[in-house]
Structure 1
Amino acid sequence: MSSPMWRKSSHSGTGDQSVCVEVADLPTGIGIRDSKNPHIGHLTITPDAFVTLLTRAKRDELNL
């Protein structure tokens, strides 16, 4: 099994102001992890849940 290819948005900040998550396609779903602390683990959600998450984030419905 190969390592997942984690990626983050090109819109992410850089340096100390970088607040971002990374995502990867995993065999069990979509992995989401903190880009500043990738060693602490990740969440895995279904592709449908990921689409819903992105849609709600774009609509500013998540109170982030």
Structure 2
Amino acid sequence: MELNNWGQRTHKKIEYEYQRSGPQHNETWTVIVRVDELEYGRGVARNRRGAEEAAAQEALRVVQQQL
């Protein structure tokens, strides 16, 4: 992922928090991305991977705006 590569280059600590809700046959995933313990992105999707990608993209947009 591009966000993880950026984190390695800049020596930032990137953490992902995973939350699952709803019944198992129709669950919803929420992923929160934190950079140095501050929330930078949040993604929601029907699967873990989709929520992770959405959260990482949002976090990357925030990071790029700060440059």
More strand by share: 2
Q: Give the helix-richer structure, 1 or 2.
A: 2
Q: Larger relative contact order (C-alpha < 8 A, sep ≥ 6)?
A: 2
Query: TM-score with structure 2 length normalisation?
Result: 0.36
